[in-house]
């Protein structure tokens, strides 16, 4: 999961801003699996949930210029997806495609 964002500060150069991310649920998404990257004001937050986990976490994206701290809160809910759900989704998708083709007289 990738979040693209930009940062700016009127008083502080972009390179002097400290940008970090923290998870409220390290069992689901550990802090080691939150990666902030990017150049200048264009940034990315890559969130890599731990495998085979589902649940909720709050991700705090924190920007610190040394004088003030700004925090953005992201609510993350990861659903458990099983192979049965994937197969049922594919069957439904196939059914809808067939119905659409019949509707437009392609079959």
Domain that holds residue 63: 2-80
90 within some domain: no
Per-residue pLDDT of 20-72, as tens digits, reads: 999 999 998 999 999 999 988 899 899 988 777 888 888 999 999 998 888 88
23 within some domain: yes
Q: Global pTM? A: 0.68
Bridging pattern class, strands 42-47 and 69-78: unpaired
Between 1-15, 38-52, 72-86, 90-104, the lowest mean confidence (pLDDT) is in: 90-104
Number of domain units in the chain:
1
44 within some domain: yes
CATH number for the domain spanning 40: value is 2.60.40
102 within some domain: no
Name the β-bridge partners of 21.
Answer: 61
Contact assessment for residue 30 and residue 23, using Cβ atoms and an 8 Å cutoff: yes
Q: How far apart are CA 44 and CA 30, in angstroms?
A: 17
95 within some domain: no
> From start to end of the chain, where are the E strands?
2-6, 18-23, 34-39, 42-47, 55-64, 69-78
């Amino acid at each position: 999961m990738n979040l693209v964002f930009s940062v700016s500060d009127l008083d502080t150069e972009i390179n002097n801003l400290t940008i970090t991310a923290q998870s409220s649920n390290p069992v689901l998404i550990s802090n080691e699996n939150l990666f902030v990257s990017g150049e200048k004001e264009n940034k990315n937050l890559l969130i890599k949930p731990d495998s085979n986990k589902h649940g909720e976490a709050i991700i705090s994206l924190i920007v610190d210029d040394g004088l003030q701290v700004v925090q953005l809160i992201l609510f993350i809910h990861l659903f458990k997806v099983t192979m049965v759900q994937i197969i049922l989704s594919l069957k439904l998708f196939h059914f809808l495609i067939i119905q659409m083709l019949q509707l437009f007289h392609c079959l």
